[in-house]
Amino acid sequence: MSLIRESFPVGLLGCTCTIVACPETKQALVVDPGDDAADILAALDRLGVQATTLIHTHAHIDHVLATGAVAARTGADIVLHRDDRWLYDNVDLQARVLGLPWSGEPPPAPTRELAGDVALPFGRREAHALCTPGHTPGSVCFFIQPAGETPILMAGDTLFRRSIGRTDLWGGSFEQIQTSIRDRLFTLPDETIVIPGHGPPTTIAEEREENPFF
pLDDT in tens, 36-68: 999 999 999 999 999 999 999 999 999 999 999
Residue 178: exposure state from Cβ atoms within 10 A (0-12, 13-18, ≥19): middle
Query: Is domain 4-210 annotated with CATH 3.60.15.10?
Result: yes
DSSP H helices in 3-99: 37-47, 67-74, 85-88, 91-98
The Cα angle at residue 95 between residues 90 and 99, in degrees rounded to 5:
155
pLDDT of residue 156: 98
Q: Cβ distance 7 to 195 under 8 Å?
A: yes
Average pLDDT over residues 71-96: 96
Helical pair 67-74 and 37-47, crossing angle rounded to 10 deg:
40
pLDDT at 102 over 80: no
DSSP letter assigned to residue 201: -
Neighbours of 116 (CB within 10 A): 10
Mean pLDDT of 134-161: 97
Of the chain, the percentage scoring pLDDT greater than 90 comes to 94
Count of H-run helices and E-run strands, the chain: 6, 14
Average pLDDT on 172-197 reads 98
